[in-house]
Amino acid sequence: NDSPYQGGVFFLTIHFPTDYPFKPPKASICPQKSLVAFTTRIYHPNINSNGSICLDILRSQWSPALTISKVLLSICSLLCDPNPDDPLVPEIARIYKTDRDKYNRLAREWTEKYAM
């Protein structure tokens, strides 16, 4: 695998609302409201410095049929295939779109610094 996150160990915090699974364990930009969040720093356009995650199934596309396993699988997919058109960190999204080598280098540096 040529992912810049390869070999990194990334920790997440998951909080379940009292009305789960009818409401998602959704991420929010405000850290005190984040219910699914990275606790390991990561360089990614859809994950901000608070660890909040911008992922559609944690927002508008949530369904009670989704499981935490599916949420985690979607987060893994997001790592492999960022969505720079719906970023939480516009500057990282810009670098991802305009200079992929620089993005991969910086993401790898952060992985080595914070996740290994």
- Find, among 96, 86, 39, the residue nearest to 58 by Cα: 86
- Sequence ranges of the domains in the chain: 12-114
Give me the amino acid identity at 41. Answer: R
Q: Considering the entire predicted model, what is its pTM?
A: 0.87
Q: What are phi and psi of 56, to 5 degrees?
A: -60, -35
Out of 3.10.110.10, 3.40.50.740, 3.30.230.10, 3.40.50.720, select the CATH number for domain 12-114.
3.10.110.10
Residues annotated catalytic, as ranges: 54
Cα atoms found within 13 Å of the Cα of residue 57, Cβ hemisphere only? 17
What is the residue-level pLDDT of the chain in tens, covering all 116 positions? Answer: 689 999 999 999 888 888 889 988 854 434 444 478 899 999 999 999 989 898 888 888 889 999 889 999 999 999 999 999 999 999 999 999 999 999 999 999 999 999 99
